Structure 1
Amino acid sequence: MTDGFDFSPGAQVPLSGAAGQTAATYALAAAAYRDDEVARIKEADNEWHQSEVKPPRPWAKIFRPLLGEAYSRAVIDRMLGAGRKPLIQSFGLEPQVVVEHCLAAHRIRRERDNWLTAVTVLCGVLFLPGFLVWLLVFTLRTTMSRREDKRAGLLATLVLVAVGALAVLFLIRLPFHGFWGWYARAAVVMPVVGWFWARQICERTARDLRGRWESLVSGGAVGAKIPEAVPGNPGDAAEQVRKELARLSAEQRSNSVFYAGPKGILGMGTRWGSWQLAEDLVSAEPGKDFHPFRSWDVITAIQGGLAMLERTPINTGGFTKPSITHWIVTPIGEKAKEVSRPSGTDVEAYTIRTHAIQDICNKQQFGSGDRHYLGVQWTLWDGHLVITMLITVTVLHETLRIEVTGHALGPLNPLFNEKPAAKEKEVQKPFRFWETRKVKLPLVDTDEVVRLAARAPLTWYPPLLNWLGGSLTLPEPFGLRHAWADQPWRHRFMADDALRAATPVLRVVHAAALRTLRENGVDVEKFGTRSSILSGNVQDVIPKKADVYDA
């Protein structure tokens, strides 16, 4: 099977901490270290992309994953798994860094689970009768304490106390003697000893994970150590991880994108504005034809003008350096669950070659097929805002149409910017019962230790663990950036940035196009009049749902 790009031999270390890492990258990476409930990911879903949280079996809630566990596992499987579907580009961040942190978080938890498995075997499996009894008691206690009825929580605590009292009574007045008597005592005591041992392991790991979570959200450059991505010899498992990371980077650089109806261009956000300049092509000299030209000639002139956007006659800052790219847009269904990237001799490493782009620009302007757009893109607000202006030129019969459309991808959902909160609760003061005070809770409580210890032996076979405890399914077609992006219009300054970019881009496009037409002997009087009208209208631009046609 050919991958479309060459994999160089030898061990390679994926690099973290590159200059392109931004706040949006770190926010998504921090989710791999979170320890809240997995159902919270639903808070980050937008109207177009919905995650699916598969609940645990009713009798196996003790095997349920938390958000960081489910998120890191889902991202690794979706972005590095063998035979995975194509991904959508994540503009404004580096998906490889996010995946590396998911791998790092998974490795930290795997080391913890190895220790917990050893503890479970020594203190649980070898003393299975007592281990099963204690596990049943904790499962019942967890199930009852999660009910909204306060009496159920009190009853759960009483059950645990009663079982503890019975265990002590059992140790004092044991009905067995000899070897089985000592084994019965150990079966009661050793699971409790194992719980204390497991709690120390869990607390150490929880402090490490929470420290990484807080550091990333705060903007700190925490390195992701992933030795499993450094192959020792060709053919080992790390070689496959390295190849998939290289494939991920190649897809991120691809110039092929997908239009999904009202969802807009996946990865760029919905289309919020559209301006068309369309007039007949008439020679400037009566009785004489104008010089023939192609759409690509106009696009090339526009590209040169866009490259000058960062220059200004007044020293006021102005535009940052934009990214200018020739995009090939492929239409897909609004409810499509996967995409298919182009392949063949015209594609190298998921990137369509220039000559193929030029052919599409000049020929595929009507009917089925891909379309060409010239895009100018800014990544602002540390990656939380991506502004894209797309330009396309078409010629049908004697009419030249230049269309400029605005796309904006807003910030990540605030869920990903949350810092780890201290675990505490409010309780009533013993004497001043009308007042409350905050009490710090342990970082890892009793139920969490039991949950982690029960899950640990099954982490070596994820399908069974997912079947028992549930899992997280990412929205498709999947891309890290657009899956959890909000609209920018609720943020005043972000909305201003998106709207302000439209006017100068539109004027540069029109100026470059008119210059090209004038050089080829085309009468530009009507084009100029129409351009002036559009230039006036765009000053009062407001965002609209341009991809929703009220027909």
Structure 2
Amino acid sequence: MTVDAGYESVFGPQVPRTGDESQTATFALASAAYRDNLVDDITKANNEWHKTTVKEGQGWAGGLFKPNLGEAFSRAVIDRMIGDGRKPLIQSFGTEPQVVVDHCLAAYRLRRARDLRLSTVMLLTGVLFLPGLLVWLLVFVIRTTIDKNPNKRASALATALLVGVGALAVLFLIKSPFTGIWGWYARACVVAPVIGWFWAKQICDSAAKDLRARWDGLIAGSSVGAQVPEAVPSSPGETQAEQKRQSLARLSAEQQSNHVFYAGPKGILGMGTRWGSWQLAEDLTPADPTREIHPFRSWDVIRNIEARLRMLERNTINTGGFPKASIRHWIVSPIGENASAVTRTEQSADIEAFQHRQHSIQDICNKQQFGSGDRHYLGVQWTLWDGQLILTMMITVTVLHETLRIEVTGHALGPVNSLFTGKSEAPTKEVAKSFKPWETRKVNLPLVPTDEVVRLTVRAPLTWYPPLLNWLGGTIVLPEPFGLRHVWADQPWRHRFMADDAMRAATPVLRVVHAAAIKVLEDNGVDTEKFGTRSAFLSTAVQDPSPKKADLYDA
């Protein structure tokens, strides 16, 4: 496999290569497209709120046509993220979903090239000698069924079955009951599928080494690019390539949306659960009893808070301090805890390319503070630990009657599940030593086992029509509402330093928010004594070192 630094060549859109340390989570998810684990392993990555399931195939055919993890993951992600008529997606903060999709397309393309060669093998050594192929397939299905039994005797029986059938095949070749041309055809029916298996094994081994090299390259951070020429139309008549290019562009636009969804105890989808909440609420009374308060709006407070937050990275002591944060205005919509979809608007008077326009954000901030409708939040977000930790502090300001309330909440999205971060391992097994049976040693197994060669070769002709293959062998069912990052994220609280970072960020943000708000109040003639006292109390409370499940109300 040839690799080069920088960007991929002209064979597709330019995709950033690995080596960008902030993209560890992106490349971990992308590596799943090249993996050859069991498809059922995807359920090990489930978290408390989002469950990926595996849809089983049709009876005995399920074992023969069942996909592995990489095959099922690539197909499911491609269909869900750029498929025709797909549902809206949740943003993948800290990752680049287009890069993951590009690698899924690249892995699918590599497997299609392998399957084309395997289909040729299947035609020349299988379909033309169908009676022998069916007999050998029956033997392998029976052997695989027996071999699934954990009993060692069952495994020995499965091996004995294959050896016995092989012996019968040799006897059949030596003394066939048929004569003439049919006798030679009968012998060919026995031998051709075996020759086809050896031929297919060479193809499968070569493809497996290529896929594993890309898998390991993404995890290690070496230069592995995704070639997706099918997403670059070379002429006006290439409608499929143009549709794929438009789907990728729409995916990128949706990723930049400033519209997010609050799903009850699940928190803000894509940002994680709410682990802390601090509220400052006091009456608006004039500093000078003889004069009225100068009129102001929530947007005036928010705008000053935003200006102060942009100076968070400045530090009086040279200790590193905060990295540059992403500060954005968010429109938050409430959805049900078990909602299966979200609704996004791509273009309207208030929205352009999935993003609320400035006047819409300002109107929601000033007016929609009580009752139904969307709400406005100002968010300050850090992508830390090479993209494995997403910290978001959300600030909202409301004024009801004569009470001003400033609420600061903390959200945390943890690292990608460890299923996606492991490198490939050479298949081995432990066996007892010949003269020291009380000791064991590891022996290397074939990279692509016998049963896997058979599975790949039988599946190959059907890969050109995925719906039939999914029906026969099963597929992955992704959790909804779907976003690449949050559905496979672990909680950060089991990682000591990640938890420390989340809680350390809260205190400086809270103090900056309160100081900025109090400054606006002072400038508009508001008595800030109570606000200052309350702010000092909250500044002490925020140092509580234990995160809570703030969205699980004890009511």
In structure 2, the residue matched to 1:57 is 58
In structure 2, the residue matched to 1:250 is 253
The one of 425, 430, 433 aligned to 2:429: 425
In structure 2, the residue matched to 1:281 is 284
Once the two structures are superposed, residues 121-180 of structure 1 have per-residue CA deviations (whole angstroms, 9 ceiling, x without a partner) of: 000000101111111111111111111121111111111111111111111111222221
SS in 1 for 2:59: coil
Distance of 2:379 and 2:256 partners within structure 1: 14
In structure 2, the residue matched to 1:15 is 15
Matched to 2:17, the amino acid is: G
The one of 467, 472, 491 aligned to 1:468: 472
Distance of 2:398 and 2:333 partners within structure 1: 17
Q: CA deviation at 1:20?
A: 8.2
Matched to 2:124, the amino acid is: L
Q: CA deviation at 1:16?
A: 3.0
Distance of 1:15 and 1:208 partners within structure 2: 19
The one of 537, 541, 548 aligned to 1:544: 548
| 1:172-211 → structure 2 map (5 Å cutoff) | 172-211=174-213
In structure 1, the residue matched to 2:97 is 95
CA RMSD of aligned residues (A): 1.2
| 1:21-100 → structure 2 map (5 Å cutoff) | 22-60=23-61, 61-100=63-102
Matched, 1:352 2:356: yes
The one of 300, 307, 332 aligned to 1:329: 332
In structure 2, the residue matched to 1:261 is 264
The one of 106, 109, 133 aligned to 1:107: 109
In structure 1, the residue matched to 2:486 is 482
Q: CA deviation at 1:430?
A: 2.0
SS in 2 for 1:209: helix
SS in 2 for 1:391: strand
In structure 2, the residue matched to 1:168 is 170
In structure 2, the residue matched to 1:307 is 310
In structure 1, the residue matched to 2:7 is none
In structure 2, the residue matched to 1:413 is 417
Matched to 1:84, the amino acid is: R
Does the 8 Å CA contact 1:12/1:231 hold for their aligned counterparts? no
In structure 1, the residue matched to 2:8 is none
Distance of 2:224 and 2:230 partners within structure 1: 18
In structure 2, the residue matched to 1:497 is 501
| 1:372-521 → structure 2 map (5 Å cutoff) | 372-521=376-525
Q: CA deviation at 1:12?
A: 7.4
Q: CA deviation at 1:541?
A: 4.1
In structure 1, the residue matched to 2:322 is 319
Distance of 1:14 and 1:330 partners within structure 2: 34
Matched, 1:157 2:159: yes
Does the 8 Å CA contact 2:35/2:69 hold for their aligned counterparts? yes
State the TM-score, normalizing by the size of structure 1.
Answer: 0.97
Once the two structures are superposed, residues 182-227 of structure 1 have per-residue CA deviations (whole angstroms, 9 ceiling, x without a partner) of: 1111111111000000000000000001111111111223100111
Q: CA deviation at 1:435?
A: 1.4
Matched, 1:370 2:383: no
Distance of 1:412 and 1:138 partners within structure 2: 37
Distance 1:541 1:404, change over 3 A: farther
Moved more, 88-97 or 539-548: 539-548
Matched to 2:472, the amino acid is: L
Matched, 1:237 2:240: yes
Matched to 1:287, the amino acid is: T
Q: Which runs of 5+ in 2 are unaligned?
A: 1-10
Does the 8 Å CA contact 1:20/1:94 hold for their aligned counterparts? no
Distance of 1:12 and 1:167 partners within structure 2: 49
Distance of 1:182 and 1:539 partners within structure 2: 85
Does the 8 Å CA contact 2:12/2:227 hold for their aligned counterparts? no
Distance 1:374 1:483, change over 3 A: same
Matched, 1:130 2:132: yes
Matched to 1:190, the amino acid is: A
Q: CA deviation at 1:21?
A: 5.6
State the TM-score, normalizing by the size of structure 2.
Answer: 0.96
Does the 8 Å CA contact 2:299/2:362 hold for their aligned counterparts? yes
Distance of 1:513 and 1:83 partners within structure 2: 45
